[in-house]
Structure 1
Amino acid sequence: MTEELDTFYLELIVLACETSQNDVYMHGYLEIRLNNKKPYAEGDIIDISEFYESIDADGEFKIFSCCCGIPECSGWIRGIQVVHLENNRIKWTNLNSGQSWTFQKHLLVDALQQVDEEVENFKKFFTQKDIEYVGYGS
């Protein structure tokens, strides 16, 4: 019997932002969906450093956080328990709700590589338009 794996999807969302001096810059953020649903609230963000650290390490990571940067502010009292399994799989367990997902690691790694390529393309494009693009997680 084959274990059914969850789907992992990562997307780069790019927005235009305006400073108080009416300067425009572009900013990106990452969105994660597991089985086509975000495992965090609409106003929450992905903590990029925790997310990147969890790619190769086991442990509890506060991958998701309130937009203010304090995970507990939006109910993330505990983080995501990350376990790297056999056959290049990763298991995430939300230690607050008990919900868990198991997916192929290459889905995450491939998606990050694609996002990094998109970031470079956006930087080149916006530089030609004299608009700053700050990437994601800034």
Structure 2
Amino acid sequence: MAISNERQPKILIKISPDLPDSDLKAVAQMSLDKRYGIDGVIISNFTAHRSQENTGTAVATTDGFVSGEPLRDISTECIRHFYRHFLIALTAGKVPIIGCGGVSSGQDAYDKIRAGASLIQLYSSLLYQGNAY
């Protein structure tokens, strides 16, 4: 079998801010295990938690989940928690975190980077604000 020079796609696992610590720890451990081939972690997906604070301009899905700007603080805190309690302890920071959820300004992106994100993913702000973002 010839060795291919083609680039292999990266595998990222996207997690919800609603996961319990036991699941976050499992994700961190799996990211170290070469059998799973996980190249990074995307934090965070939608949240099912609806509070008075985070539903004002929420982007709701048909399943009742919240995403977009109302997810900003929740996802940033999830990044911080995952980075401090699991990623540093278990992986020595070797697994990149892609921060997403409510990024609608440079400050939002910077906050996620300061919390532990290596990269930032944009979606809702581009969808709703277009290239004016």
TM-score of the pair, normalised by structure 1: 0.30
Which has the larger strand fraction?
A: 1
TM-score of the pair, normalised by structure 2: 0.31
Relative contact order higher in (CA < 8 Å, ≥ 6 apart)? 1
Which has the larger helix fraction?
A: 2
